[in-house]
Chain A
Amino acid sequence: MTGETILTVEGLRLHFDVRRGGRHLQVRAVDDVSLSLREREVLGIVGESGSGKTTVGRSIMRLAQPQAGRVVFRGRDVLRQGGKGLNDLRLRIRMVFQDPYASLNPRRSIGDSVAEAGDINGVFTGRTDRQRQIAESLTNVGLDPSLAGRYPHELSGGQRQRVGIARAILPVPDVVIADEPVSALDVSIQAQVLNLLSDLRERLGLSMILISHDIGVIGHMSDRVAVMYMGRIVEFGEAREVIDRPSHPYTVALMAAVPKPDPSLRIAGTIAASEPPSQFDRPEGCAYAPRCPLANDRCRVEAPVLRPVGTRVVACHNALPG
């Protein structure tokens, strides 16, 4: 079902300099991340807050400026595009954001918001064409075209997120990067929006990068999954492999922590507090070692690199066979 590689990310690095208490510190938001996206594929990126998953998405869009690495989209180096090239790129690759309340301008009508990218890039041949395309886009996301004249405050959260998607598919792009598209929605609405994204992928032939902290959502939607921890990819492979038979101890822990709808699997009483280490105080060696049940002396001094385990790659000295 999925085809040729359409987008590759190689050795992406983005460090932020911050000052805390008079000290200059560095946050390694993204550290040597490499990915590839295939045609018509859903690539899931999952990780805890602060793992760098959003920064990867924003770097591909050039909304963040990486210090090193390459992003190649259909043979073009994204990080070297400027002016017209960049505009064109941002029509081909579009983004859907988490918070439909924050990402729509409250003073613009739904129709104007949906048409914005088209207006900027002169996509429409005239008024009627513009209206026709707005209506088509709204219909594509399951909204009534008459909503074009309405304003965001008149819509429910689910409708607003559909508008957020409608504006990302006008004109129809090659790639959609959806950053936590359902996290702000109720479960019943969440299911509707996830189904919609699957439908659009089929109907419009989209490739999709889906960024979420929710491994249930990622597992359900994705063909391949990248698991990020503290700025790095720690496991990357087919969703069936990574989600059903995780190999990195972090992926295992992430899966184990998802509350399962089965009352026979009760949460145990005593769990020690174990949280990600501070971004400013990255451990030597493997960043997961302080939380890892399998960590040994080697893990604490030598940072593991991604290596093949079966059909996937895993950055762990003690990777499980999966």
Chain B
Amino acid sequence: MLAVDNLTVSVGPQARPIDIVDRVSFSILRGEVLGLVGESGCGKSMTSLAAMGLLPKPGPRIRSGRVLLDGADVTRLEPWQRVEAGHDAMAMIFQEPMTSLNPVRRVGDQIVEAVRVREQISAAAAKERARELLELVRIPDAALQLSAYPHQLSGGMRQRVMIAIALATRPRVLIADEPTTALDVTVQFQILGLLRELCVRFDIAMLFITHDMGVIAQLADRVAVMYAGRIVETAAVKDLFAAPNHPYSRSLMACMPIRGAGTARLRTISGQAPQPGSMLAGCAFAARCPEARESCRSVAPAHLESAAGHEVLCSYPVTDGRPW
């Protein structure tokens, strides 16, 4: 449904570009959730904005690679051009719904506006569809809440409104960029359940961006782990958690505080990720990697298929099934 092929996004002068997203490839099927996981600054949000055609201007640009929507190349098309060319709709939801919603317009009007982007229908019909959408995202008293302003809703309810707006264009691709990070765990749990259900029900391909491995485990079908602009490991979620191959994926999972051990020390990743543009030859993770050998600092790793559907960008992946 959505495929990103060897995508490189750069900032800085044309002559000396700095790649903040570096040769990223993935594809998502209908009804499938691909989790894109990584820490801040790794390029996961830039990847999603590039796929949406929403890169801020001026600023980062797609230097090479393609974005394919149902096989058609939409790399250079703005979102409105994609609509005019008759491509399936894509939609996006963000971390902080309060900054995405217009604070001085009723939520019903904001949903109606989104509905009428794609459908030439009467105001009354659009309003009816807005009510249906609020019911779909399980907002209690949907008809009543149409006339609420964003500040009158809780964080969780606002995120539900954002999802309703995203669904208004009947998208086939949904990109969710840390949509639950600002929410309480109990509310996060509900929103994740809702997103999964909607994906299956409407056969939506979803790219779910998060820094939380726990969220990935519960929601995603497949996972792409990103580090310093590159995807370093891609696998089915079960395979990744059973046997993460890339030392970075392993470290990321090991440093989660999971109850049981009491005051045992947490595993950490020493140092910090390199700044874009300051990357040296060799593997970008080598300086922090517990498995690094001398050659890692000079020889760039190549993609390797360690098992069917399990790809890793590492010269010495951990494939002996050691626990993380």
Binding site for B on A (CB under 8 A): 48-49, 156-158, 186-192, 194-195, 198, 213-217, 219-221, 239-240, 243-244, 253-254, 256-276
**CA A264 – CA B237 in complex, angstroms?**
10
Contacts A188-B39, A192-B268, A257-B185 given; indicate if A269 touches B196 (C-beta within 8 A): yes
Residue contact A267 to B265, C-beta cutoff 8 Å: no
Residue contact A187 to B211, C-beta cutoff 8 Å: yes
**CA A270 – CA B191 in complex, angstroms?**
10
Closest B residue to A192 by beta carbon equals: B268
Contacts A258-B214, A259-B217, A263-B241 given; indicate if A273 touches B255 (C-beta within 8 A): no
Stretch from B73-81, B87-95, B153-161, B294-302 contacting the other chain: B153-161
Given A194-B257, A261-B217, A270-B193, 16 more contacts at CB 8 Å? A49-B184, A157-B40, A187-B213, A187-B255, A190-B257, A191-B257, A192-B268, A198-B263, A216-B258, A239-B262, A259-B218, A261-B253, A263-B238, A265-B218, A267-B192, A271-B189
Mark out the residues of chain B between 172 and 225 whose CB falls within 8 Å of any chain A CB in the assembled complex: 184-190, 192-194, 196-197, 200, 211-219
Contact with A along B146-165 (1 / 0, CB 8 A): 00000000111100100000
Contact with A along B125-141 (1 / 0, CB 8 A): 00000000000001110
CB of B227 to closest CB in A, whole Å = 11
**CA A186 – CA B196 in complex, angstroms?**
25
Contacts A188-B255, A261-B241, A262-B217 given; indicate if A269 touches B193 (C-beta within 8 A): yes
Lowest 3 CB-CB distances: which A-B pairs, in order? Answer: A259-B214, A219-B259, A191-B255
Contacts A273-B140, A275-B154 given; indicate if A263 touches B190 (C-beta within 8 A): no
Residue contact B39 to A275, C-beta cutoff 8 Å: no
Closest B residue to A250 by beta carbon equals: B186
CB of A263 to closest CB in B, whole Å = 5
* Total contacting residues, chain B, CB less than 8 A: 53
Binding site for A on B (CB under 8 A): 39-40, 138-140, 154-157, 160, 184-190, 192-194, 196-197, 200, 211-219, 237-238, 241, 251-253, 255-263, 265-269, 272
Residues on B with C-beta less than 8 A from A254 are 185-186
Closest A residue to B255 by beta carbon equals: A191
Residue contact A272 to B138, C-beta cutoff 8 Å: yes
Residue contact A275 to B189, C-beta cutoff 8 Å: no
Report which residue of B39, B156, B190, B260 has the largest number of chain A beta carbons within 10 angstroms of its beta carbon: B190
Closest B residue to A272 by beta carbon equals: B138
CB of B160 to closest CB in A, whole Å = 7
Residues on A with C-beta less than 8 A from B255 are 187-188, 190-191
**CA A31 – CA B23 in complex, angstroms?**
55
Report which residue of B188, B197, B255 has the largest number of chain A beta carbons within 10 angstroms of its beta carbon: B255
Residues on A with C-beta less than 8 A from B192 are 259, 267
**CA A213 – CA B181 in complex, angstroms?**
12
**CA A221 – CA B261 in complex, angstroms?**
9
Q: Which of A220, A273, A276 contacts B139 (CB 8 A)?
A: A273
Closest A residue to B275 by beta carbon equals: A156
**CA A194 – CA B261 in complex, angstroms?**
14
Residue contact A244 to B189, C-beta cutoff 8 Å: no
Q: Which of A219, A244, A274 contacts B190 (CB 8 A)?
A: A274
Q: Which of B139, B217, B267 contacts A260 (CB 8 A)?
A: B217
CB of A31 to closest CB in B, whole Å = 19
Contacts A187-B39, A254-B186, A259-B188 given; indicate if A243 touches B259 (C-beta within 8 A): yes
Closest B residue to A240 by beta carbon equals: B262
CB of A98 to closest CB in B, whole Å = 13
Residues on A with C-beta less than 8 A from B251 are 188
Residues on B with C-beta less than 8 A from A221 are 257, 263
Q: Can you spell out 20 A-B residue pairs with CB atoms less than 8 angstroms apart? A: A187-B212, A187-B252, A191-B256, A192-B268, A198-B263, A213-B184, A216-B259, A217-B257, A219-B259, A257-B185, A259-B192, A259-B212, A259-B217, A260-B218, A260-B258, A266-B219, A269-B196, A273-B139, A274-B186, A275-B187
Closest A residue to B189 by beta carbon equals: A257
**CA A276 – CA B184 in complex, angstroms?**
10
Q: Which of A240, A243, A258, A262 contacts B185 (CB 8 A)?
A: A258
**CA A256 – CA B218 in complex, angstroms?**
12
Q: Which of A189, A190, A271 contacts B193 (CB 8 A)?
A: A271
Residues on A with C-beta less than 8 A from B272 are 156, 158, 189
Report which residue of A194, A215, A254, A261 has the largest number of chain B beta carbons within 10 angstroms of its beta carbon: A261
Residues on B with C-beta less than 8 A from A239 are 262
Q: Which of A191, A258, A266 contacts B268 (CB 8 A)?
A: A191
CB of A280 to closest CB in B, whole Å = 12
**CA A240 – CA B139 in complex, angstroms?**
37
**CA A116 – CA B250 in complex, angstroms?**
40
Contacts A267-B192, A269-B200 given; indicate if A220 touches B185 (C-beta within 8 A): no
Residues on A with C-beta less than 8 A from B215 are 259
Residue contact A253 to B261, C-beta cutoff 8 Å: no
**CA A215 – CA B259 in complex, angstroms?**
9
Residues on B with C-beta less than 8 A from A256 are 189
Closest A residue to B263 by beta carbon equals: A198
**CA A275 – CA B138 in complex, angstroms?**
12
Residues on B with C-beta less than 8 A from A189 are 272
Residue contact A257 to B217, C-beta cutoff 8 Å: no
Contacts A187-B39, A195-B265 given; indicate if A244 touches B259 (C-beta within 8 A): yes
**CA A210 – CA B192 in complex, angstroms?**
28
Residues on B with C-beta less than 8 A from A216 are 256-259
**CA A157 – CA B155 in complex, angstroms?**
25
**CA A189 – CA B211 in complex, angstroms?**
12
**CA A152 – CA B267 in complex, angstroms?**
27
